[in-house]
């Protein structure tokens, strides 16, 4: 189903609010907006977002309904000092992630997100490439879970040291190397594509953290139980493998393959007609385009078919490409292994999961929502 847009007058009628409230909701990312193609001085607003807020503001819903809506792209549900998405930009502890991606490595970003040493985190060499890197990461983490100490009740400095060790475990599986190189170089050299090192560095930094996405929330829930940091990362890694999260890039490869046969516009039309959504485009938190995708695409020369898809997607869907599209284009451009987008995503996001796990442990809170029973009466 194609995204529907309405003008300000219709949006205000649905919301029953003043224009200032509409604009405030747009600035906070609650309502997606874009310029009106017929009049650049006016804006159009995403109708589903407007209806969702109108329903929330009705004022007569029970707390259970509000809580249920909050976990589906609703209002913030817990405080964090790690990252923020505001003004359609992503910030890591107050610093623009796109700016950080211009120069820093993932290890430097780990130090920022963990409030760690200013000179970055050092990851020792280790690991042997023995086949599926993702399978190796699952196995390595699972082997640690029952022997690692619970995270609850331990000094933050001690947890940071353990976090670096957990990251090293994941790196040994996802980016095995006999040399103590920066993680982006370990990946590029391991794939025998040294020329891919710089855009891989950019990708790792941009994918390191993204607020309370589904895998991060899973990691925080696990950490709230007091489980080991390795257990929290294992939870995040499991959630990442879903096709609506870390494996969304696979739909981009399918789109590219179809486009190579019938053209970009017809490929988008076909997938939209059959699936109702083209996951390569749009992001609810970035109405004007995913800044991570734009920065990553600028770091390498994508093949013509991706540029054609990007233009056709924005024209037909009214949505710019997202980071899943950019990761798939990166892998295809440098002929990286088939699962390389997921490997990059998993290695990068491990840093964010560990940051959230440590923050959750420090809060001392157990994440335990209530369920609203909707089954048959007993």
pLDDT digits (tens, 9 = 90+) for 170-190: 999 999 999 999 999 999 999
Largest CA distance in the chain: 64
Among 27-31, 48-52, 211-215, 238-242, the least confident range = 27-31
Please give the average per-residue pLDDT across 288-312, as a whole number. 94
Q: Work out the pLDDT band at 3, boundaries 50, 70, 90.
A: low
- pLDDT > 90? residue 251: no
- Residue 60 has a pLDDT of 42
pLDDT score of 283 more than 70: yes
- Percent of residues, the chain, with pLDDT higher than 90: 59
In the 3-class helix/strand/coil scheme, how is the chain assigned residue by residue? CCCCEEEHHHHHHHHCCCHHHHHHHHHCCCCCEEEECCEEEEEEEEHHHHHHHHHHCCCCCCHHHHHHHHCCCCCCCCCCCCEEEECCEEEECCEEHHHHCCCCCHHHHHHHHCCCCCCCCCCCCECCCCCCHHHHHHHHHHHHHCCCCCCCCCCHHHHHHHHHHHHHHHHHHHCCECCCCCHHHHHHHHCCCHHHHHHHHHHHHHCCCCCCCHHHHHHHHHHHCCCCHHHHHHHHHHHHCCCCCCCCHHHHHHHHHHHHHHCHHHHHHHHHHHHCCCCCECCCCCCCCCHHHHHHHCCCCCCHHHHHHHHHHHHHHCCCECHHHHHHHHHHHCCCCCCHHHHHHHHHHHHHHHHHHHHHHHHCCCCCCCCCCCCCCC
At 243, is the pLDDT very low, low, confident or very high (cuts 50, 70, 90)?
A: confident
Please give the pLDDT value at position 65: 55
23 vs 226, more confident: 226
As a whole number, mean pLDDT of residues 357-361 equals 97
Confidence of residue 70 (pLDDT cuts 50, 70, 90): low
Tell me the pLDDT of the chain averaged across its residues.
89
pLDDT at 74 over 90: no
Per-residue pLDDT, 169: 98
283 is catalytic: yes
Strands 39-46, 83-86: pairing is unpaired
Active-site residue among 49, 184, 210, 283? 283
**Residue 81 predicted with pLDDT over 90:** yes
Q: Which residue has the higher pLDDT, 207 or 272?
A: 207
Which residue did the predictor score with more confidence, 78 or 239?
A: 239
- pLDDT at site 276: 74
Q: Determine the pLDDT at residue 230.
A: 98
Q: What is the pLDDT of residues 139-155, one digit of tens each?
A: 999 999 999 999 999 99
What is the Cα 130 distance to its own chain's centre? 28
**pLDDT for res 222:** 97
Cβ partners under 8 Å of residue 150, min gap 6? 226, 227, 228
Of the residues 324, 332, 339, 356, which is catalytic? 324
In the CATH scheme, what architecture does the domain 106-378 have?
Orthogonal Bundle (1.10)
Q: Which one is predicted more confidently, 91 or 77? A: 91
- Across 66-70, 165-169, 216-220, 355-359, least confident range: 66-70
Question: Residue 342: its pLDDT value, please?
Answer: 95
Is 324 designated active site? yes
378: pLDDT confidence band, cut at 50, 70 and 90? low
Over residues 237-246, the mean pLDDT reads 87
202, 295 Cβ separation under 8 angstroms: yes
């Amino acid at each position: 189903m194609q995204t529907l847009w309405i003008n300000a007058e219709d949006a205000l009628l649905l919301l029953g609010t003043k224009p200032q409230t509409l604009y405030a909701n747009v600035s906070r990312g609650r309502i997606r907006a874009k310029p009106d193609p017929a009049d650049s001085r006016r804006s159009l607003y995403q109708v589903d977002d407007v209806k969702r807020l109108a329903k929330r503001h009705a004022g007569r819903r029970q707390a259970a309904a509000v809580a249920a809506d909050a976990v589906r792209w609703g209002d913030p549900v817990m405080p964090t000092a790690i990252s923020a998405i505001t003004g359609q930009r992503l910030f890591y502890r107050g610093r623009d992630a796109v700016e950080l991606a211009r120069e820093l490595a993932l290890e430097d970003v780990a130090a920022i997100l963990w409030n760690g040493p200013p000179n970055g985190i050092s990851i020792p060499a280790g690991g042997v490439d023995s086949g599926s890197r993702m399978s190796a990461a699952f196995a390595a983490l699972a082997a640690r879970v029952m022997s690692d100490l619970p995270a609850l009740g331990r000094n933050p400095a001690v947890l940071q040291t353990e976090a670096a060790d957990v990251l090293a475990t994941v790196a040994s599986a996802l980016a095995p190397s006999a040399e103590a190189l920066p993680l982006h170089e370990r990946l590029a050299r391991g794939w025998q594509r040294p020329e891919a090192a710089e855009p891989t560095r950019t990708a790792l930094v941009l994918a390191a953290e993204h607020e309370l996405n589904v895998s991060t929330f899973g990691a925080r829930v696990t950490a709230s139980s007091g489980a080991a940091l390795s257990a929290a990362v294992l939870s995040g890694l499991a959630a990442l493998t879903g096709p609506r999260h870390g494996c969304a890039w696979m739909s981009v490869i399918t789109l590219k393959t179809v486009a190579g046969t019938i053209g970009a516009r017809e490929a988008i039309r076909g997938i939209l007609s059959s699936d109702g959504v083209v996951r390569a485009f749009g992001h609810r938190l970035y109405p004007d385009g995913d800044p991570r995708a734009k920065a990553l695409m600028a770091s390498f020369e994508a093949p013509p078919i991706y540029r054609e898809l990007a233009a056709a997607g924005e024209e037909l869907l009214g949505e710019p490409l997202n980071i899943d599209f950019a990761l798939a284009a990166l892998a295809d451009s440098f002929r990286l292994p088939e699962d390389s987008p997921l490997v990059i995503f998993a290695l990068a996001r491990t840093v964010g999961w560990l940051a959230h796990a440590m923050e959750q442990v420090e809060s001392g809170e157990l994440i335990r929502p209530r369920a609203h029973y909707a089954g048959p009466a007993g």
